[in-house]
Amino acid sequence: MSDIVEGTKFLKFLSGYSEAEISVALSSLTSSDLASFNKHTKEIISKVETNGSGQKLQRKKNVSIQKASDMEIFDRALKTIKSNLASYDCDSVDVWNLNFDVVDNYLVLADREILTLHSKLKSVTTNVEKYKLLLCAERGKMYTQLKSSNKFANWTNYCVNVLDICSLQANRYISFYSIYANYPRIVVSGLTFTYVMEIADKLVKHLESDIDLAVMLKAPLRTTKINANMMVVAKPVEPRINIQIEKFNWNPGFELSDLVTTQRSLVQQAAVNDVVITMEQENQIVNGYDTFEV
């Protein structure tokens, strides 16, 4: 019994580490030890899922919040940047459409219509993020020029009394503009403003050694046309619905964290079923799919 208790504690202890950290530890094992570990782990997972009955049981909803480590999120960010930049290069004018359809009742629509509207909403969401980064860069350029002009005896007072903005906030935009000025294509990287600033130091340091990625980001943006012309008609207040606030992770980069945890779940599922994830399926996960055919 003591061996079972000890083994249980070992497995519970491992759950506190990220997939990347466990992978590093496993890489130090010999091939035979690793094969033995994988075999016994699959057996344990199978027993846990069936509770020893031989039939798969319905799992209770796990209320704990899965979190990705900072390293995993940063690695995902790099893959996202490379994926977006790889598909960005062409000679045509880039078009950002910010218009979308406001629909009262999606349930009356056919599946094809829902998929079309959903695809459009996802596209507009991406374009809005790019538009926001471009806007932040422009604000940063303004604040950079004003602050460096030495026309103002006190930059903080000028921000508060004239620009009606906190100087710390202005300095955030200045920091982002310094990144944008060196790496213009950060705008189309697929990252949000808050996450870019969250990893700014780490990203800049990484680009010092990742020359290929640095060159891609240094290239100028394509000529871009922004379409934004829509009106939302005032309507009566909709019937009240229950407010649903899940305890999700809303920290900067939460979108990337979601992808990491989703990928982790799919990889674990594939391992249990002895399925090998292909490069194409990996790319699907990178591009935001939450499932794939196995």
What is the arithmetic mean of pLDDT over 185-193? 94
Q: Which residue has the higher pLDDT, 45 or 272?
A: 45
pLDDT band at 175 (very low <50, low <70, confident <90, very high): very high
CA distance 218 to 186: 9
CA distance 152 to 61: 58
Residue 1 has pLDDT above 60, yes or no: no
CA distance 27 to 14: 15
262 to 46, 165, 172, 269, 288: CA distances (angstroms): 21, 39, 31, 11, 9
What is the arithmetic mean of pLDDT over 133-142? 96
254: tokens are 């939460």
In terms of DSSP bridges, do strands 224-227 and 94-97 run parallel, antiparallel, or are they unpaired?
A: parallel
Work out the number of other CB atoms within 10 angstroms of the CB of residue 143.
Answer: 23
Tens-digit pLDDT profile for residues 269-282? 555 555 555 656 65
Lowest mean pLDDT among 193-207, 225-239, 276-290: 276-290
What phi and psi values does residue 191 have, to the nearest 5 degrees? Answer: -100, 155
Do residues 79 and 30 make contact, with C-beta atoms less than 8 angstroms apart? no
Q: Which residue has the higher pLDDT, 123 or 268?
A: 123
Tens-digit pLDDT profile for residues 47-71? 776 665 556 555 544 444 456 778 8
CA distance 181 to 137: 8
Task: State percent of the chain over pLDDT 90.
Answer: 37
CA distance 104 to 117: 13
| Domain range annotation of the chain | 1-60, 70-227
Which helix (H) or strand (E) element contains residue 94? Answer: strand 94-97
* Reported pTM: 0.65
Work out the number of other CB atoms within 10 angstroms of the CB of residue 68.
Answer: 25
Tens-digit pLDDT profile for residues 230-269? 888 888 776 666 766 666 655 666 666 666 666 666 655 5
Task: State percent of the chain over pLDDT 70.
Answer: 70
